[in-house]
Structure 1
Amino acid sequence: MYFELTALSIFGYLSSLKAEFSRESGSKKEQPERMQKLKVAGNSRQNLRFDFLQECWSDDPALQIVIKKLLAKFPQWGLVAVEGVLVKWEE
């Protein structure tokens, strides 16, 4: 009985690790596409959706740097990075 529970626990843990790894590798695959979309937005002054920026922000520190530069360049977007969190600000 103990062996069965331990084996199930280990299997569950390995499954969660596999899911986490696939999620992380998936976001790394999307990074060049997201970076390109951020660069295009910076050049065209296109206002990106908050949920897209939030997703980029939470997935990749390199994209955080690009987003911070965009926020400084376009304060009219109404977004700001405060203590490592991307938030909408209101007047």
Structure 2
Amino acid sequence: MKRKRGVKDNRSYYCYIVECADGTFYTGWSVDVETRVKAHNAGRGARYTRARRPVKLVYSERQPSHAAALRREAAIKQWPRARKRQLVSAHRGE
């Protein structure tokens, strides 16, 4: 769906982390995290997760815009595994 310039986008955007069956993390963005996780588990998600199913959602956060979600995804993907683990643990309250 194309948007017109200057028109406010009322959708919610999310950055999320899933943990794969092999213990690795995959970070992505979506407007519907539940549906996206189901797609990953059905083999219709990212190529990375297709060989590492099933995945489980371990973290998600709402972002104010599409651009913000993409920036957050890119930032988290640069983090070492230990920092991602800290973020997930803090989110769970561990």
- Common fold by TM > 0.5: no
More strand by share: 2
More helix by share: 1
